[in-house]
Each structure stands twice: as C-alpha cells, then as structure tokens.
C-alpha cells in the first residue's frame, strides 16, 4: 500500500482488499517504521481470510509482507506500537471453532519490529 497524499488516500497493489474492515496504520515511535494491517482474501471460496501485515522502513516507498502465526480465519485486525517499539496485533479468529461461525479475540506481540511474533494470546 502506498499513499501519495500524506495518508489521505491509500493505493493497494497487493491482491484484493477485503473491505469489511479498513486498513489500520501504526507508526513506531522508536524506528519510524510504518505498519499496515488489513484482512486479505485471495478470491478462492475454499480459502480462509488472512490478515496481511506490511512494514515500510523508508517512509512508505517500499513495503514488506510480514509473516505471522496463522490459524483459522482472521478478521478485523487492529495494530499498535508502544513507546518501546513493541508491536501489538489484535484480531478475531475462529481457529478454536473451525466449521462454526463463533470467533474469539486474539493478540500477537512482536518485540523485534515484526521479525518474530508470540503465539496467539486469547482474550477473555
């Protein structure tokens, strides 16, 4: 994703954007890295929706897809970065309820800018 208008408009060049949720943008106060999280579906009705997480280390000129643990269908992501640079990604997932419509809130944490993530932590 890239904005040519200081963040007023975003242009996607990576697959299709599942539009039931808007892209969430976070900026790391330590490194200045940009992060965007959004739901993504490749169009195959047999595939689950994934959350895509992108990182830019050069002000949004180039973006890298960050791989994170995935189980089940993941929707409605939210991302934030604290003052220490710790990255928090929350989302709803059905991985405990496969074959059902139930979902539960989960969070993954990264202490290294998205290089590695914790296993999903279930919310209560």
Per-residue pLDDT tens for 75-115? 788 999 999 999 999 988 876 666 666 778 889 999 999 99
Look at the alpha carbons of 62, 68, 74, 78 in this order and tell me if their dihedral is positive or negative. Answer: negative
Q: Tell me, what's the pLDDT at 79?
A: 94
Residue 48 belongs to a domain: yes
Supply the CATH number for residue 89's domain: 2.40.10
The pTM of the full predicted model, rounded to 2 decimals, is 0.75
Residue 53 belongs to a domain: yes
Residue 71 belongs to a domain: yes
Range of 80's domain? 24-122
pLDDT, average across residues 9-13: 52
Q: What are the two backbone dihedrals, phi and then psi, of residue 94, each rounded to the nearest 5 degrees?
A: -105, 15
Residue 118 belongs to a domain: yes
Encoding tokens for residue 78?
């939210």
Residue 56 belongs to a domain: yes
Q: What's the domain count of the chain?
A: 1
Residue 14 belongs to a domain: no
Distance CA 4, CA 47 (A): 32
Residue ranges of the alpha helices (H) in 1-124?
none
Residue 55 belongs to a domain: yes
Give residues with Cβ within 8 angstroms of 99, minimum separation 6: none
**27-52 per-position pLDDT tens digit:** 999 999 999 998 877 676 666 677 88
């Amino acid at each position: 994703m890239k904005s040519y208008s200081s963040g007023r408009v975003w242009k996607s060049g990576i697959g299709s954007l599942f539009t039931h949720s808007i892209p969430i943008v976070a900026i790391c106060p330590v490194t200045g890295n940009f992060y965007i999280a959004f739901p993504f579906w490749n169009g195959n009705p047999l595939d689950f929706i994934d959350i895509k997480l992108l990182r830019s280390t050069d002000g949004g000129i180039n973006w890298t897809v960050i791989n994170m643990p995935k189980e089940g269908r993941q929707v409605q992501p939210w991302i934030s970065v604290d003052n220490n640079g710790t990255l928090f990604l929350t989302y709803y997932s059905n991985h405990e309820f496969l074959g059902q419509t139930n979902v539960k809130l989960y969070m993954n944490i990264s202490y290294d800018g998205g290089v590695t993530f914790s296993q999903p932590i279930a919310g209560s």
